[in-house]
């Protein structure tokens, strides 16, 4: 069996490790975020995926801190909001996230989406790079970036490194995108995999819309697991970092019980559907 456990990590290009299972808090009301994150920690999650736009950075961090788990065992992600994608705003958001969370550093800071045109995206990226240089952020990345956005960023990084010295352009560690068998994004996955950029899978259980899918049901029956567990295991075995969201304690536990079985090569192949059907707007990826 592939040797994963809930404490397994992947090494990012930054040199830091990322826990292979994340806990998403999109649409989790601030009023309950501390409590659900606290429960997630009890169940074994160590990695929380938040964003400025989710308006729950502070209570999510509170849930992490009150777990009593050492800071270096915790992993907290946040994101520059899509519609505020420029250098000045990004600088302010980095300071604000540190104030909101009370953390000395943010483990992973992402650009939430490729908005703002080239100037806005590259400006916000520069602010993240400066955040790393100042020790305020450990690793940086992007979200909802299509291949042309990734190439734009790679060109910026390479030319800056050439002009100013290696590392000055920053290190791209992560691209967080919607990823599941119904949206396999082969082009983006290949681009990132070739460069060692970690793929985080959002909406990994397709927002619970595929519970009646016959293919998933047959795999669930075969492995004595739920359809959500099959999807999450698929994601892990693809080498992705899935970020399931649930505010329901029993589901949080269910989604973490994915380390005691393995999908065969044949099972994995049956989930190669080759038919991209995004839940989220295609315009993220097509933006100029």
Ligand X SMILES: NC(=O)c1ccc[n+]([C@@H]2O[C@H](COP(=O)([O-])OP(=O)(O)OC[C@H]3O[C@@H](n4cnc5c(N)ncnc54)[C@H](OP(=O)(O)O)[C@@H]3O)[C@@H](O)[C@H]2O)c1
Q: Which residues are annotated as a binding site for substrate?
A: 112
Residue showing the smallest CB distance to ligand X in the complex: 24
Question: Strands (DSSP E) along the chain, which ranges?
Answer: 9-11, 17-19, 23-24, 47-49, 75-80, 106-111, 137-143, 172-178, 198-202, 241-242
Q: Which lies closer to ligand X via its Cβ, residue 67 or residue 255?
A: 255
Asked about 54 being catalytic, the answer comes back as yes
Exactly one of 45, 54, 202, 285 is catalytic; name it. 54
Task: Name the phi and psi angles at 241, rounded to 5.
Answer: -110, 95
Number of residues counted as binding ligand X (CB under 6 A): 26
With binding defined as CB under 6 A, does residue 251 bind ligand X?
yes
The footprint of ligand X on residues 168-227 (CB under 6 A) is 176, 202-208, 226
Spell 270-286 as b/e; 16+ CB within 10 A means b. ebeeeeeeeeeeeebbe
CB of 9: closest distance to ligand X in angstroms? 18
Sequence-distant (≥ 6) Cβ neighbours of residue 285 within 8 angstroms: 114, 144, 145, 146, 149, 188
Give the residue, chosen from 246, 263, 271, 287, that forms a contact with ligand X under the rule CB under 6 A.
246
Q: Which lies closer to ligand X via its Cβ, residue 103 or residue 202?
A: 202
Q: Are 52 and 80 in contact (CB under 8 A)?
A: yes
Residue 108: strand pairing partners: 77, 139
With binding defined as CB under 6 A, does residue 24 bind ligand X?
yes
CB of 115: closest distance to ligand X in angstroms? 11
With binding defined as CB under 6 A, does residue 267 bind ligand X?
no
In angstroms, how far apart are the furthest CA atoms of the chain? 57
Which residues are at the interface with ligand X (CB under 6 A)?
24-26, 49, 112, 143-144, 176, 202-208, 226, 228, 243-248, 251, 254-255
Catalytic residues: 54
């Amino acid at each position: 069996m592939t040797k994963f456990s809930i404490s397994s990590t992947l090494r990012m290009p930054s040199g830091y490790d990322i826990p292979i299972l994340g806990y998403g808090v999109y649409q989790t009301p601030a009023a309950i975020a501390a409590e659900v994150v606290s429960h997630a920690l009890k169940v074994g999650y160590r990695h929380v995926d938040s964003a400025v736009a989710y308006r729950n950075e502070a209570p999510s961090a509170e849930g992490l801190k009150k777990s009593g788990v050492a800071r270096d065992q915790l992993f907290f992600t946040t994101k520059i909001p899509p519609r505020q994608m420029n250098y000045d705003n990004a600088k302010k958001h980095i300071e604000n996230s540190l104030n909101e969370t009370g953390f000395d550093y943010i483990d992973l800071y992402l650009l939430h989406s490729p908005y703002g045109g080239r100037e806005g995206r590259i400006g916000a990226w520069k602010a993240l790079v400066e955040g790393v240089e100042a020790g305020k952020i450990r690793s940086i990345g992007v979200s909802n970036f299509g291949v042309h956005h990734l190439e734009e960023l790679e060109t910026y990084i390479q030319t800056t490194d050439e002009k100013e010295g290696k590392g000055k352009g920053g290190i791209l560690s992560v691209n967080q995108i919607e990823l599941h068998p119904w949206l396999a994004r082969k082009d983006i996955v290949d681009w990132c995999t070739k460069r060692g950029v970690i793929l985080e899978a959002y909406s990994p259980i397709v927002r619970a819309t595929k519970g009646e899918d016959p293919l998933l049901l047959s795999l669930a029956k075969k492995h004595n697991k739920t359809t959500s567990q099959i999807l999450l295991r698929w994601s892990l075995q693809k080498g992705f970092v899935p970020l399931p969201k649930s505010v329901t304690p029993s589901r949080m536990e269910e989604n973490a019980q994915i380390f005691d079985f393995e999908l065969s090569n044949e099972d994995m192949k049956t989930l190669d559907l080759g038919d991209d059907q995004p839940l989220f707007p295609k315009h993220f990826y097509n933006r100029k």
